[in-house]
Amino acid sequence: MFPSFTGSSRKPRRVDLSGRKSTPQNKQIPGLSTQSYQHSSALLLAQQQRAKREAERKELEAVKTIQRTWRGKSDLSRIRTIWRSVWDNKYGRQLAGRKVRDIAEATSAIRLFLAFFDRTWRSGRLLKRIGPRQPGDDLQRLAVLVEALTVSNGSMLHPHLISPSINFQDFFTLHRFVALLLSTIHQSSSASSQLVIIILHLIAELPIVALSVIEGRGFSFSTLEIISPTYYQTLSHLTSASSAHSNPELRELLLRCLLGPLSVIPLPESVRSSLPTNTAVYRAFSRFYLTTPSLGECLGPDTLEILASKIHIGVLTRAVLENLEEGDQISRTTSLRSRRLEQKETSSNKAAEDRNLWLLAYIIFFFRKNSRNVTSRSRQDGNSYIKCITLLFGDAANDVGTRIDLEDQEMSGSGISNDPLQMSYDYENEMDIDGDGSASQRKVPLPGFIKQELHTLIDQPSISSLLSGTPSIMQISGQTSEGVEAQLLASYALTLLLVFPKQIQELRMWLYLASTSDGVPAVRYLWEAVKRAKLFADVSSDVSAAVDSLKKKRKVQTNSESTRGRAELDLTKHQRQYQQYQGAITGKGDKVETGDDDDDWRVILLFLELYSFLLIVMDDEDFFNAGKNNSIGGGEGSRTRDSAPPLKDVMDLTIFLKNLAFAMYWYTGEIMREGQRASVGDIPNGAGVGDANTDADELEVAGVKGMGFSYVKGLVTNLLRMVYLRDSRRRFLPQNHWLMTSRFDMEGFIPAVVAEEENRHKLEAEEEENEPDSQEFPGQVDSRFQRMHKHRQRQQKNHHLAAVAPRLEILQHLPFFIPFDTRVQIFREFVSVDQRRRRGGNTDPDAWRAIFFSGRRRHGDAHGDAHTALSKHHATIRRESVFEDAFTEFYPLGDGLKEPIQITFIDQFGAQEAGIDGGGVTKEFLTSVTKEAFVPERYNLFLENKHHMLYPNPNSIEELREGLREEGLSPAEIDISVADLLNRYEFLGRIVGKCIYEEILVDISFTGVFLLQWSYGKDGGCSVGNGYRPGVNDLKDLDEELYQGLVALKNYTGDVETDFALNFTINSSLTLPNGKSKTITIDLKPNGANIPVTNSDRLTYIHLVSKYRLVNQPRAQINAFLKGLGSIIQPSWLSMFNQSELQTLVGGGDSPIDVADLRRNTVYGGLYVIGDDGVEHPVIQMFWKVMEEDLNDDERRRVLKFVTSVSRAPLLGFGMLYPRFSIRDSGDDQERLPSTSTCVNLMKLPRYNDRKTMKKKLLYAVNAGAGFDLS
């Protein structure tokens, strides 16, 4: 028809260059023939006409549809009106006041009633708006019919309707009628209460009718299919809307209706074999009824108890699991997250979100009431219950954990009882900040019944008996049901740890106390399961296996994904989890291969949690004797020793942890964002760098919400550090076992780390510049956004550093991967870079002073102002009060103490000592401050243990307070004095930091536990996973007697409560300034004086005592000291060392004095200067022979201390000693003793004639304490 059709109907552009007006008829496209143009116009016209005809056709069809529908509706209404008249004439009047005669009359009346009853009124469709409705009249007819179908005032169905002779057609007519009754109850607000009761009577009889028909005729179908799919939905609505608790008849009927379909009536074997299980009924019951809030309040507590006694808990939990498998919404938290995304803020929506929690609480209640003794339940039911609880918590575990301890002020409970375990919880007002840094609505307390039932999960019998029905897997090989049970129990236990964060320590202890049926402790049971896990073997042999496993966990969802997409992902996860544990639930022992290793991760993480707890309460004797003469299964012995893996297994564990930790730190960027690797700074061959804003906790390592990447990293890091500390105290692992140098390019390692530290410093500087002004968020309400902003920035910074600075992260968290000497060099580089940054590129003190003075002048300061600013770094110090004068002069400097200072000493006569401070006097000043301030008898700031190691006096603040109270000072004056005391601790921290900063060794020794807290930072933690966990073993440094007593308590085999008579308190003895003593008692837990210590909770007591003595009691003193230390030395720099290494940093190494190294780095003066021939003076040669051949190491140390004031060598040898070790002559008097100037490390040595005399005079001077004054 159109031979020139080009395939495009678009009208071509018309261009006319003639200047004449053109009409559509005479317009023509240049370059287009007249024929083509005509064809295009014809095509366009045809298309327009076709569209017009199509629109007319659709309009006509719509009119026909409307007319047909209207006619149908009108005809149906007319016919129903006729049928109503027929029904009224035939049955309405006849049945009024009497009962049906037989089944034929009953079914005939029901069929006619079903024919005219207005279904549109029930369905809620739009069509119900068309035409007249008569729901009220129909309800009256329904009441008449129901009365006729029942006897005894509606108490039961008419005998004709429950006769075994009823045929199948009549039975299903009755079924349709009951379905209508259910819908009437559910949707009608005008039905009378009496009608509702009569209908319930009829419904309550239906399940019996169904089973009777099955028994008599052998029909095979589900009971729930008979009674209606909306059965339990209707009962739920009726329960919530009625006052059943005050109406005994209604409550009785509801209970009968609930239990009818759930009951199991004995049937012939031939019929029973053809019936499906009543799991379908339980599925509907759990899905639609057990999600009803406050059943105990609606039905009454007694009714709920009866309901619990009649329910088969095993069938119920398996029904819930089947619902989960098919993705039903009752127990998945997808709806929680989708509603949160939609910003629904009403209380009704919050109640809907809690429906799955109500189901969880009812199942716990039913399980408790079915059997008090957990061991009496079948193993299959127990496994099904545990799996059900785990999956019902699901992703809501974190949310529940934040709400479970909130005070219930407005929400009503169950009507049973209030939560006895409520406690206050310190939440930020108005708005909470989720783990990803986002702000969520204010947390709503859990209802009382839910809270109460959840708390029953964590009582000691419930936790400790988890393994009571499980045999040991230590002698079993291969994948078995016991292995799957370990994974199931791990999932359950990890969920409890998430839901109850405030009881986490008790949960760990009770899990630790659990044992299998044959007596194997839980930790050993889990360890055997871990060793059999494929993931454990793979990661132990190859780091890349850990990286690959963690990559699989990464979420691929983006912010643009729909809620439906999230729901599909969650459905897949729940289906996978359900399938993974079918072997454990059914007892078949078949493991479902899903291509995922979440089950291995769960077992491993639970073992790491419990083993970390075990190391806290375990002393070294049990640790190093684990696996020797163990008494598993009964008998004598320490439980901690029986629980711990033997040392050879600990080595295997550390290999796994090392590889896993290295993967999580070195490949952070690659794990979190594969394919987005980039190079930042000087980071070769290494960690992938991803999006710095990635939320690490989005990666669910074990498939459990809350068990994210950061959690696992922290858990692994802490455990590695605890095992490393054991090994550093007493070596049991091979030399160099901890090093991972083969994984690094060690030649370029130090420059790369320095570059990463520079990037970190720049990042912090940018954060300080971009820190929002407090005025941007005025008022109390807006301060919430400040907290949210800071929290998110902190998370982004941590994630960014983890990705772009992997070496720095490893040095901070896992420093033992790198050799000690390398770390010391890195530390000195950090200090040097910091000095150059602060001092304008110069480290020389005089050059800095010149630059400082000229810089202040260039910026407009007057000469006097610049001089005043510089004079703050100069002080005049009296010899008899070095510490007090130092505190007065230099405390206001703050971190300005990093800069060079100048000291002028005043002797006891008030005269200024001669000399210019070129560094030596500063050294003398710093060492003098430490010698004076750390003397316990003088300032009482620090105490000594029996090994003469120092630790902060934990009673110093309380002793000061009590003394000032006795003097009559006011509380405000006491607080001022306490603040001054803490300022002195802070200043001492700065002094020690200054010594380390300037490489000045001081002869003081601190206890290991105090130094350990330096490594972990202020208040027990610097960053993720680095919290200090006090253990009983650390008490040995502070109180040997208390340590021995706690160990004896732990290993005691008798009745602790009777024999020890302890409670959860601890006494502290205070020595007041006036010499009096006073004892104070501290509660270790609320109302601790009334809580006895028993065999079951003695570990909690031991832990609380250790925590109080090591952390809580000296918290203020330690924090003040660390605040001062951190102002001079970055806490992240100190975290590169363990406690013994930090002591080496402060006072030098404990290795024997290397005389050859000292000789190579000695400077000579006076006659002892080496000449052009390079030969040492004979007296110098004699001196080195005496040092090397005539003196032992202890005597050499005394000589070194005599000259330098420190008996230990510097960290990296005497080449790092500043000023250098120096010797100059002091005459040829043979009776003269050697003398020293310790401020410049100078010894003045007379020219003795023989070695014997030199040795004699040297030792005499050293032992007599001769020094500067004798020179």
Query: What is the identity of the amino acid at 1197?
Result: R
Give the pLDDT score at 581.
44
User: Which of 875, 1085, 1095, 901 has the alpha carbon at shortest distance from 998?
Assistant: 901
Among 443-452, 573-582, 797-806, 1209-1218, the minimum mean pLDDT is found in 573-582
User: pLDDT-based confidence at 265, cuts 50/70/90?
Assistant: very low
Q: Is residue 339 pLDDT above 60, yes or no?
A: no
Q: Which range has the top average pLDDT, 540-554, 625-639, 763-777? A: 540-554
Query: What is the structure's pLDDT at 936?
Result: 86
pLDDT in the model for residue 968: 87
Instruction: Please work out, in degrees rounded to the nearest 5, the angle formed at the alpha carbon of residue 396 by the alpha carbons of 395 and 397.
Output: 90
Higher pLDDT, 562 or 1080: 1080
Name the fold adopted by 1151-1270.
Answer: Hect, E3 ligase catalytic fold (3.30.2410)
Average pLDDT rounded to a whole number, residues 453-461? 85
Q: Take residue 95 and report the two structure tokens written for it.
A: 């049945």
Query: Which sign does the torsion angle of CA 1085, 1090, 1091, 1095 carry?
Result: positive
The answer to whether the CB of 1122 falls within 8 A of the CB of 987 is no
Would you say residue 344 has pLDDT above 50? no
> At 444, is the pLDDT very low, low, confident or very high (cuts 50, 70, 90)?
confident
- When pLDDT is cut at 50, 70 and 90, the band that residue 779 belongs to is very low
pLDDT at 1223 over 90: yes
Tell me: pLDDT of 431 over 50.
no
Query: What residue has token string 């009582």?
Result: 459
Q: Which of 257, 298, 995, 1239 is catalytic?
A: 1239
Query: What is the token pair recorded at 24?
Result: 């559509």
Burial grade of 1079 (CB within 10 A; 0-12, 13-18, 19 or more): exposed
pLDDT band of 685, cuts 50, 70, 90: very low
- In angstroms and rounded to an integer, the radius of gyration of the C-alpha atoms of the chain is 42
Picking from 1-5, 804-808, 1191-1195, which range would have the lowest pLDDT averaged per residue?
1-5
Domain range list for the chain: 1-77, 96-276, 277-458, 502-818, 934-1147, 1151-1270
Which tokens go with 113? 């009633």
Report in angstroms the alpha-carbon separations of 398 from 344, 434, 576, 784, 1127. Answer: 20, 9, 21, 21, 36
Tell me the C-alpha to C-alpha distance, in Å, between residue 867 and each of 238, 850, 861, 877, 1238.
87, 11, 10, 20, 30
Check: CB of residue 484 under 8 Å from CB of residue 591: yes
Residue 470's pLDDT band (boundaries 50, 70, 90)? low
Q: For residues 532 and 969, what is the distance between their CA atoms, to the nearest angstrom?
A: 66
Token pair 């960053």 is found at: 1023
Predicted local confidence at residue 985, as pLDDT: 95
Q: Which residue has the higher pLDDT, 944 or 274?
A: 944
- pLDDT band (50, 70, 90) for residue 6: low
Answer whether residue 338 shows pLDDT above 50: no
CA angle 735, 736, 742 (to 5 degrees): 155
pLDDT given at position 537: 93
What pLDDT shows up at residue 698? 58
Q: Percentage of residues in the chain with pLDDT exceeding 90?
A: 20
Q: Are 156 and 205 in contact (CB under 8 A)?
A: yes
1166 has a pLDDT exceeding 50: yes
582-617 per-position pLDDT tens digit: 444 444 444 433 446 788 898 999 999 999 999 988
Least confident of 242-246, 322-326, 625-629: 242-246
Residue 549 has pLDDT above 60, yes or no: yes
CB 748 within 8 A of CB 826: no
Banded model confidence at residue 349, pLDDT cuts 50, 70, 90: very low
Is residue 995 annotated as a catalytic residue, yes or no? no
1162-1165 β-sheet, strand order: 1162-1165, 1221-1225, 1242-1245, 1235-1237
| pLDDT for residue 757 is more than 60 | yes
The tally of CA atoms less than 13 A away on the side-chain side of residue 99 is 15
Instruction: pLDDT band for 350, please (50, 70, 90 cuts).
Output: low
In contact, 109 and 160? CB cutoff 8 Å: no
- Report how far residue 378's alpha carbon sits from residue 376's, in angstroms, rounded to the nearest whole number: 7
Q: Which residue has the tokens 């190093």?
A: 624
Which candidate, 400, 429, 433, 407, places its Cα nearest to that of 501?
400
Helix (H) or strand (E) holding 751: helix 749-770
Pairwise CA distance, residues 1186 & 1177, whole Å: 14
Q: In the predicted model, what is the mean pLDDT of the chain?
A: 75
pLDDT reading at 435 higher than 50: no
Mean pLDDT of 984-988: 95
Rounded distance, CA 963 to CA 1072, Å? 6
At 789 the pLDDT is 63
| Span 1179-1218, pLDDT tens digits | 999 999 999 888 998 888 888 888 887 787 887 788 878 7
Q: Check if the beta carbon of residue 392 is closer than 8 Å to that of residue 496.
A: no
Any idea which of 93-107, 325-339, 1156-1170 has the lowest mean pLDDT? 325-339
CB atoms within 10 A of CB 635: 10
| Residue 475 backbone dihedrals phi, psi, to 5 degrees | -105, 5
Instruction: State yes or no: pLDDT of 97 exceeds 80.
Output: no
Q: How is residue 755 written in tokens?
A: 């570059």
Return the bridge partners of 687, or none: none
| 916's tokens | 């210019």
Give the residue carrying structure tokens 């006319």.
16
Highest mean pLDDT among 433-447, 806-820, 862-876: 806-820
Question: Per-residue pLDDT for 662 more than 90?
Answer: yes
Per-residue confidence band for 655, with pLDDT thresholds at 50, 70 and 90: very high
Grade residue 988 by pLDDT with cuts at 50, 70 and 90. very high
pLDDT digits (tens, 9 = 90+) for 916-933: 666 678 888 888 899 899
Decide yes or no: CATH 1.10.260.40 for domain 934-1147: no
Task: Give per-residue pLDDT as tens, 58-88.
Answer: 999 999 999 988 888 888 888 888 888 888 8
**Poorest-confidence range of 1-10, 272-281, 741-750, 1156-1165?**
1-10
SS3 at position 1242:
strand
Highest mean pLDDT among 561-575, 1010-1024, 1253-1267: 1253-1267
Q: What is the mean pLDDT of residues 125-130?
A: 37
Q: How far apart are CA 1125 and CA 543, in angstroms?
A: 37
- ∠ CA 1185-1188-1192, nearest 5°, is 130
List the one residue out of 1197, 1271, 1201, 1206 whose CA is nearest residue 1234.
Answer: 1271
pLDDT at 708 over 60: yes
Separation of alpha carbons 207 and 194, rounded Å: 22
Lowest model confidence (mean pLDDT) among 90-94, 490-494, 969-973:
90-94
pLDDT in tens, 151-162: 654 445 556 565
What pLDDT is attached to residue 172? 72
Banded pLDDT at 982 (limits 50, 70, 90): very high
Q: Is the pLDDT of residue 171 over 90?
A: no
| Weakest mean pLDDT among 546-560, 754-768, 952-966, 1014-1028 | 1014-1028
Mean pLDDT of 23-43: 58
In DSSP notation, 332-379 reads: -THHHHHHHHTT---HHHHHHHTHHHHHHHHHHHHHHHH-S-GGGS-H
Q: Which amino acid is at 1206?
A: V
The residue-averaged pLDDT of 203-216 equals 54
Distance CA 1142, CA 1132 (A): 13
Tokens describing residue 21 = 């007006």
How many Å separate Cα 1152 from the centre of its chain? 46
At residue 950, the pLDDT reads 92
